[in-house]
């Protein structure tokens, strides 16, 4: 059973982003817990919503965590976020088992992509569903994105992967077989073809989207081969 840990509003302009902090946390706890990946989810960009650069939330996906370890894990993550968030940020942290993510939490996540929501709405929903949610500093507005991130990650069809397998070991371009061996088994063209061979070009590292709760790399064909189609 998957456990989701979502972080939001941990950064400031010109500082490393929340995705970087999520990877740092995975580095701190990965020797004791099984990490399946990190996804990025785009939220609503609106003048009434303070954000740093893109208003996105990062979600860590983990294998089952025992009941006894859940509270300890949450406290550890809280400590890491408190000590590593950028001063002046408004961090929020959310943690939930997949079974806790009710349809209302998924709807909250989807609404956060197109509506202005409030801290009060987030805390009420988390309380009613038994989901751990905590604001740590500043305005604590990060609780909105953190709860939304859990809902979007759990729905299985939103966002893109910042980390899965060894995709970050690939740089600039790679053969299809290398990408598959790195942890992306499904590579599909925008016109629906399954891509099984050839070279694929990408920015930094290949970033698959999350479809059916799995990483799927979308590519388009160009004269020199395949190019990754990056989506939010």
**pLDDT, tens only, 167-194:** 999 999 999 999 999 999 999 999 999 9
Q: Which long-range contacts (CB under 8 A, 24 or more apart) does 168-177 make?
A: 168/205, 169/205, 170/202, 170/205, 170/206, 171/204, 171/205, 172/201, 172/202, 172/204, 173/199, 173/200, 173/201, 173/202, 174/199, 174/200, 174/202, 174/206, 175/199, 175/200, 176/200
Task: Work out whether strand 3-8 and strand 35-42 pair parallel, antiparallel, or are unpaired.
Answer: unpaired
pLDDT in tens, 46-73: 555 555 556 789 999 999 899 889 999 9
- Could you tell me the residue range of the domain that residue 123 belongs to? 3-161
Best CA proximity match to 52, nearest among 82, 106, 15, 85: 15
Cα–Cα distance for residue pair 173/186, rounded to 1 Å: 17
Domain count, the chain: 2
**157/171 same-domain check:** no
Q: What is the pLDDT of residue 14?
A: 60
**152/81 same-domain check:** yes
Percent of the chain with pLDDT over 70: 93
Best CA proximity match to 89, nearest among 8, 153, 23, 10: 10
**135/77 same-domain check:** yes
**219/124 same-domain check:** no
**125/207 same-domain check:** no
Residue 16: give its domain's CATH number: 3.30.70.2200
Average of per-residue pLDDT across 145-153: 97
**115/64 same-domain check:** yes
Pick the last residue of a domain from 161, 188, 204.
161
**21/68 same-domain check:** yes
Structure tokens at 4: 């989701």
Name the residue with higher pLDDT: 4 or 9.
Answer: 4
**208/154 same-domain check:** no
Name the residue with higher pLDDT: 219 or 85.
Answer: 219
Contact 157, 109 (CB under 8 A): no
Say what the pTM is: 0.92
**175/141 same-domain check:** no
**120/95 same-domain check:** yes
Q: What is the pLDDT of residue 196?
A: 94
């Amino acid at each position: 059973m998957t456990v989701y840990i979502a972080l939001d509003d941990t950064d400031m302009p010109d500082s490393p982003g929340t995705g970087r902090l999520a990877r740092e946390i995975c580095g701190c706890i990965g020797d004791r817990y099984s990490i399946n990946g990190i996804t990025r989810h785009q939220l609503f960009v609106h003048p009434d919503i303070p954000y740093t650069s893109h208003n996105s939330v990062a979600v860590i996906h983990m294998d089952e965590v025992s009941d006894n370890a859940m509270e300890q894990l949450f406290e550890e993550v809280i400590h890491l976020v408190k000590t590593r968030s950028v001063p002046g940020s408004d961090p929020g942290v959310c943690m939930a088992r997949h079974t806790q993510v009710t349809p209302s939490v998924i709807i909250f996540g989807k609404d956060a992509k197109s509506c202005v929501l409030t801290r009060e709405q987030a805390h009420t929903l988390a309380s009613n569903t038994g989901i751990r949610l905590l604001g740590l500093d500043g305005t604590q507005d990060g609780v909105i994105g953190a709860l939304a991130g859990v809902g979007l990650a759990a729905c299985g069809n939103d966002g893109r992967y910042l980390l899965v397998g060894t995709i970050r070991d690939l740089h600039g371009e790679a053969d299809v077989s290398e990408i598959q061996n790195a942890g992306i088994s499904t590579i599909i063209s925008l016109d629906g073809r399954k891509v099984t061979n050839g070279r694929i070009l990408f920015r930094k590292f290949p970033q698959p989207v999350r479809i059916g709760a799995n990483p799927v790399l979308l590519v388009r064909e160009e004269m020199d081969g395949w190019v990754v189609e990056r989506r939010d």
